[in-house]
Amino acid sequence: MATTADLYNGAVLRYEGELCEVLENTHRTPGNLRAFYQVKMRNLRTGKSFEQRFRSGEELVFISLETKKLQYLYHDGSDYIFMDSSTYEQFPVSEVVLGEKANFLKEGDAVSIDFNGHDIVRVDIPMFVELKVVQTEPGIRGDTATGGTKPAELESGAKVQVPFFVNIGDVIKVDTRTSQYLERVKN
Give 86-101 as a DSSP string. Answer: TT--EEEEEHHHHGGG
Whether 120 and 132 map to the same domain: the answer is: no
pLDDT score at 38 = 92
Whether 117 and 155 map to the same domain: the answer is: no
- Per residue of the chain (187 residues), what is the pLDDT tens digit? 788 888 889 889 999 988 899 999 999 888 888 889 999 998 887 778 999 999 988 999 998 888 999 999 988 888 889 999 889 999 998 887 787 888 888 888 899 998 888 888 888 888 888 899 989 887 666 656 566 788 899 988 889 988 888 888 889 999 988 888 888 888 7
pLDDT score at 139 = 66
pLDDT score at 24 = 92
Report the side by side order of strands in the sheet with 119-124.
90-94, 79-83, 66-76, 110-116, 119-124
Whether 134 and 109 map to the same domain: the answer is: no
pLDDT score at 141 = 64
Question: What is the distance between the alpha carbons of residues 145 and 80, in angstroms, rounded to a whole number?
Answer: 36
Question: What is the distance between the alpha carbons of residues 89 and 35, in angstroms, rounded to a whole number?
Answer: 48
pLDDT score at 117 = 85
The enclosing domain of 77 has a CATH number of 2.40.50.140
Question: What is the distance between the alpha carbons of residues 63 and 82, in angstroms, rounded to a whole number?
Answer: 23
pLDDT score at 122 = 83
SS3 115: strand
Question: What is the distance between the alpha carbons of residues 79 and 97, in angstroms, rounded to a whole number?
Answer: 10
A 10 A CB-CB count for 40 gives 15
pLDDT score at 95 = 81
Question: What is the distance between the alpha carbons of residues 122 and 43, in angstroms, rounded to a whole number?
Answer: 11
Helix (H) or strand (E) holding 47: none
Domain stops at, among 62, 77, 104? 62
Whether 91 and 47 map to the same domain: the answer is: no
Q: How many domains does the chain have?
A: 3
Whether 56 and 6 map to the same domain: the answer is: yes
Provide the b/e sequence for 141-158 (b: ≥16 CB within 10 Å).
eeeeeeeeebebebebeb
Chain Cα centroid distance, residue 4:
25
The enclosing domain of 13 has a CATH number of 2.30.30.30
Domain stops at, among 21, 47, 62? 62
Q: Which domain holds residue 84?
A: 66-124
Whether 112 and 140 map to the same domain: the answer is: no
pLDDT score at 77 = 83
pLDDT score at 125 = 87
Whether 77 and 106 map to the same domain: the answer is: yes
Whether 39 and 51 map to the same domain: the answer is: yes
Whether 7 and 56 map to the same domain: the answer is: yes
Domain stops at, among 124, 147, 170? 124
A 10 A CB-CB count for 121 gives 19
Report which DSSP code applies to 64.
-
Whether 71 and 87 map to the same domain: the answer is: yes
